[in-house]
Each structure stands twice: as structure tokens, then as C-alpha cells.
Chain A
């Protein structure tokens, strides 16, 4: 049986797997979220193959490099095969799926969307209600606060600093006030009567 991996050897394996995973992710144009999975798969594979390592033939880094290169090649081949099965391109949300006239985007449920993946799972009806509530609140806001809302709708906070001579601290004071103004109109803040009692 192969003796336990020393911490320095393990560090070498992790570093090699990390470099290989980044290279593979870049070459296959995969999303950044897949990087951790790739690194994990590669590291597990190289650890499984450690019994075949012979230190008389070379360093552990060189061994890991060869194993990782082969495994990267297998993953890339599998990935290309899957892409070819989908017609050789990335699926478009606007293109109709096979056997249906509807585009893929219309057939996906809200829970399949990117927003749901990021914990923003909202139904269309709730979105419409929020939009109506926002429109009512905006109509009721003072003119200067409404201007800030419009600016925030197109720019990031960092871009607003310096515009019209407004300082960062003044901008954050206005944002704090905007939060209160919106809460007064039913957006954002929550009043819990039982907690208050």
C-alpha cells in the first residue's frame, strides 16, 4: 500500500490540480462556478492514481502533471461530446426546442432560472405587484429623492460619487434617507407588532 501522503506532497498535488483546473476551465469556456468542481474531480483522480507513483522515476509534481493532463484531456473530450449532442453550440433561451414551437425560455419555470439559483425565486405575479407598489411609492416621493432613484436605476453607487459635486458621505446619507422614505411607503422595512409589544 502507498504510504500516507506527506503535507508537502499534498500541497504540491493541490497546487497542480488548481493550475490544471483553471487551465481547463479557461479552455472550455466554462462558468467560474464550475472551477471548484473541476479542481475537486482532478484532485480525487490524481490521489486515486498515487499507488502507481514511483519516486525513482521522477518527482511527485511531474507525476501529478502527467496524470492531470490525461484527466483534463478526458474531461475535455466528454465535454465536447456533450456539446456536439446539443448541436455543437450552447443552447439559446430564444431558440425553439426540438418538437416545439415555443422557445426554450418560455418552457423553463421560474424555479429553473438563474435568479432562482441565486436565491431570488419569485413568481411573475409577485414581481408585477412589486412593480406596482414601487410605481405608487415613486409617485409619492419628494422630487429630490425621486431623482436619486432614477440615478440609481442606471448607475452603480460608486459611479454617482462625484457627480453633481456630491461626496460619498452625502450620498450614503441620502441613501439612508431613501431607505426610510421607501419603508414609509411599504417597501423594504417590516413592522412586527408582536415583537414590538
Chain B
């Protein structure tokens, strides 16, 4: 069972979240901070034809879901969902501790690219 510590919790907002806002939140979040980035049924809400959202909102949500998935794959967030009712979930992103890697200066990156 996943036990969530009582940390900062930002509920779903009246104004829809965009992918760049979500990424900016990840960039500034402390480990354990949580953000509810969608409420509904993400798989259906992002799929064309069956989604009940207007097309611009569906596209925005699909971009947001893509950004969340990339952040998860990069090890920056945990993605969890809380069941609210039948076919209705709160989708949460929980900030993780940043992976530590050796910094790569831009000058060295350019040198390596030119040498290759």
C-alpha cells in the first residue's frame, strides 16, 4: 500500500494546466510535492472521437499527459491516480529526488559533437 506523506498538495484548478506549466512545476518542486494535473479518465479524455472534451482542450490534455509521461521516464516524478468514483480519477504527479549525474558543460558538449 502506498502511504503518502502530508506534504504540499495543489488541488485541480479551475483553469486548465498546460504542459509548460506542468514542466515548470516539476522544475521548482521539492521532493514529495504533489500536483493534481487532471481529474476524469485520462485514457478516454485524451483520445480523439471518444473524448467528451472540446478539441483544443483534448489536445492540451494530450500534450500535458505526454509531458507527464516523459517526466516519469526521466525519473523526475511518480505518477499515481486516486479513484474518486466510477470511471473518475484524480491524476497526481509526485516530485522525486533529482537523479545525480555529472554536469556536462555546454562547451564540452559542443566540442564532443564537433569531434564526432
Please state if A154 and B114 are interface contacts (CB–CB under 8 Å).
Answer: yes
Of B39-47, B51-59, B69-77, B83-91, the one contacting chain A is: B69-77
Interface size on A (CB < 8 Å)? 31
Q: How large is the interface on B (under 10, 10 to 19, 20 to 34, 35 or more residues)?
A: 20 to 34
Give Cα distance in the complex from A149 to B105, angstroms: 11
B77 — nearest CB in chain A belongs to which residue? A184
CB distance from B100 to the nearest CB of A (A): 9
Give Cα distance in the complex from A134 to B104, angstroms: 8
Please state if B74 and A147 are interface contacts (CB–CB under 8 Å).
Answer: no
A95 at the interface (CB under 8 A from B): no
A191 at the interface (CB under 8 A from B): yes
What sequence of 0s and 1s flags, for each residue 185-197 of chain A, a beta carbon within 8 Å of any chain B beta carbon? 1111111010011
Please state if B10 and A196 are interface contacts (CB–CB under 8 Å).
Answer: yes
Please state if A146 and B109 are interface contacts (CB–CB under 8 Å).
Answer: yes
- The interface centre, meaning the residue of A136, A149, A189, A193 with most chain B CB atoms within 10 A of its CB, is A189
Give Cα distance in the complex from A190 to B104, angstroms: 23
Please state if B74 and A180 are interface contacts (CB–CB under 8 Å).
Answer: no
Of A13-21, A39-47, A56-64, A137-145, the one contacting chain B is: A137-145
Could you pull out 5 A-B pairs where Cβ atoms are within 8 angstroms?
A140-B98, A146-B109, A183-B23, A191-B25, A196-B21
The 8 A-B residue pairs with the shortest CB-CB distance, nearest first, are: A189-B24, A135-B103, A150-B113, A183-B23, A186-B27, A191-B24, A139-B101, A191-B25
